[in-house]
Structure 1
Amino acid sequence: MASIPWTMVALAWAAGLCMPLGGVIAQLERSHESHVKRSWLAGITALGGGILLAAVSLVLVPHAMQALSIAALLGLFLLGALIFMQLDRWLARGGGAKGQLLAMLMDFIPEAIALGALASASPAAAMLLALFIAVQNLPEGFNAYRELEGAGLTARQGLGAFVLLSLLGPLAALAGHLWLADAPGVLGGLMAFAAGGILYLVFQDIAPQSRVAHHWSPPLGASLGFMIGMLGDRLVG
């Protein structure tokens, strides 16, 4: 265990804790319902969607393309989309709307694994990737908390679940460091699968929630989110 970079584990958990932090902000935000507030909340949803699209196009897919053959890349990408389509249908039958939560976890876990895999080879890149993940998790945590709140969870249940989910970050980073640092094909396959699922969820669940009639600022949130992703990718790269 002495070879484990504990700074990397702490960074992965800190990035994960931005999920409950986003939930805390959503819990504290209790202003009067209005068209301006709906537009603002739609913009936050769009911001998370833009960041997720950036993660797919700038982080997950490029790494997968480097590590996989075209057949494996397309097959795993499609598999991710199909599996999360079925999962989304199952949740819809139960009355749940948890697309943002699923997309957030599908983004967070493979990137945390990549963080662990990078820790020894490039500590600076791992640190910047942790910052990128944290920036992603904050608006995504905000949106996912509001989804869970709408599904009937109490504040304690929602925030408690997010704190537990944040522990997946250090666990995924440890797995990436210990087992996948020398297995780029497995890591690339995981990223292709996650990218397919995220892209499905963005267009099925997240993008429709970001639209407000007669208001054109929320789509700017998606552009801003993608800009954040580009900045993070340039810093990591």
Structure 2
Amino acid sequence: MFFEIILFSILAGSTVFIGGLTSYYFENRVDNKELKELTVHYLISFATGIMLSAISFVLVPEGIVELPILLSCFLFILGGVSFFFFDKLIKKNKYKIPQVIAMLLDFIPESIALGAVFVYSHKTGILLSIFIALQNLPESFNSYIELKRLKHSSSKALLILFVLSFVGLAFSLLGYAFLDDKIEITSSLMLFSAGGIMYIIFQDIAPLLQYKKRRMIALGVNLGFIIGMLGEAIL
């Protein structure tokens, strides 16, 4: 069990660096500016579908099993309200890296839940790790672009993303160590994360999908959600 948590946590976190490498490739090998913009928007759209499927198939269904419904609703709202205040702080931070911080706001609580949930639901742990991995990929793609806009060199931007790729492993092990027999706390964390992610989707991410009246970009949300449907069916 311990080594499985390590394996799937590394899998979930590895896409932070892979997304950065992919973005680096586009920066250096693709000259078509509009193609770059479209790729970014489709990736954002796909990530939105993945995030919605994580909420729909794992975080909320598994979270409400062990908790009273009124408490579940409160935690979901609390997550949204908390991320609202986090979002305000991000917008004011002097480093101006909202994409990177937003990625971590999703990644950290989900990773803690991943380490804890493996103990009592192997299927849920695998599914959550897949969701986290797919969610991190487009977010880190955009984070690399953001870091470059802040005048970081390519090597420094990739180094930052490489280091961040191991954040999930650290927090998953913390979740496993301290929450493995505390199902109620784990469920609370999942519902809190779900509420926060829902806020981020419709406050920060969905408005970015608009690009030169290309309505098909929004279909990426459907494709991302289908990944969740397939994962749920297979596992």
Farther off after superposition, 126-135 or 210-219: 126-135
Shift of 1:120: 4.5
Counterpart AA for 2:16: M
Report the equivalent of 1:206.
205
Q: Count how many residue pairs are aligned between Structure 1 and Structure 2.
A: 232
Tell me, in whole angstroms, the C-alpha distance in 2 between the residues paired with 1:24 and 1:140: 12
SS at match of 1:29: helix
TM-score normalised over the length of structure 2:
0.85
Runs of 4+ in 1 over 4 A off after TM superposition: 120-125
Tell me the CA shift for residue 128 of structure 1: 4.9
Q: Can you list the C-alpha shifts for 1:104-149, whole angstroms capped at 9, x where unaligned?
A: 3343334333432344455565445434432332222212322333
Alignment check: 8 A CA contact 2:117 2:186 kept: no
Of 6, 10, 15, the residue aligned with 1:9 is 6
- Counterpart CA distance in 2 for 1:111 and 1:86 is 19
Which residue among 14, 18, 21 is the counterpart of 2:15?
18
Tell me what 1:144 maps to. Answer: 143
Relative to 1, partners in 2 of residues 1:185 and 1:17: Cα closer, same or farther, differing over 3 Å?
Answer: same
Which residue is 2:107 aligned to? 108
Give structure 1 stretches of 5+ with no counterpart.
Answer: none
One-letter amino acid of the counterpart of residue 23, structure 2:
A
Identity of aligned residues (%): 36
Query: What's the Cα RMSD here?
Result: 2.4
Separation (CA, whole Å) in 1 of partners of 2:120 and 2:188: 20
What CA distance in whole angstroms lies between the structure 1 residues aligned with 2:120 and 2:156? 38
- 2:169 — aligned with what? 170
CA distance in structure 2 between the partners assigned to 1:181 and 1:234 by the alignment: 26
CA–CA separation in structure 1 for the residues paired with 2:110 and 2:86: 21
Amino acid aligned to 2:107: F
Which deviates the most, 57-66 or 4-13?
A: 4-13
Q: Work out whether residues 23 and 144 of structure 2, in 8 Å CA contact, stay in contact via their aligned partners in 1.
A: yes
CA distance in 1, matches of 2:133, 2:218: 22
Alignment of 1:187-202 (within 5 A): 187-202=186-201
| Residues in 1 aligned to 2:61 and 2:121: alpha-carbon distance in whole angstroms | 18
Q: TM-score scaled by structure 1?
A: 0.85
1:164-207 residue CA offsets vs partner (Å, 9 max, x unmatched): 22222222222232222221110111111111111111111111
Does the CA contact (< 8 Å) of 1:22 and 1:140 recur in 2?
yes
The answer (yes or no) to whether the contact 1:80–1:196 under 8 Å persists in 2 is yes
CA distance in 1, matches of 2:85, 2:120: 37
Question: 1 CA distance for matches of 2:132 and 2:41?
Answer: 21
AA aligned opposite 2:13: G
Deviation at residue 90 of structure 1 after TM alignment? 2.3
Q: Deviations over 1:182-237 (max 9, x none)?
A: 2111011111111111111111111111211221221011111111122223333x
Aligned residue for 1:66, secondary structure, equals coil
Structure 2 stretches of 5 or more lacking a match? none
Aligned to 2:37: 38
Distance across 2 between alignment mates of 1:127 and 1:207: 27
- CA distance change for structure 1 residues 13 and 36 in 2, over 3 Å: closer, same or farther? closer
> Does the CA-based 8 Å contact 1:51-1:226 persist in structure 2?
yes
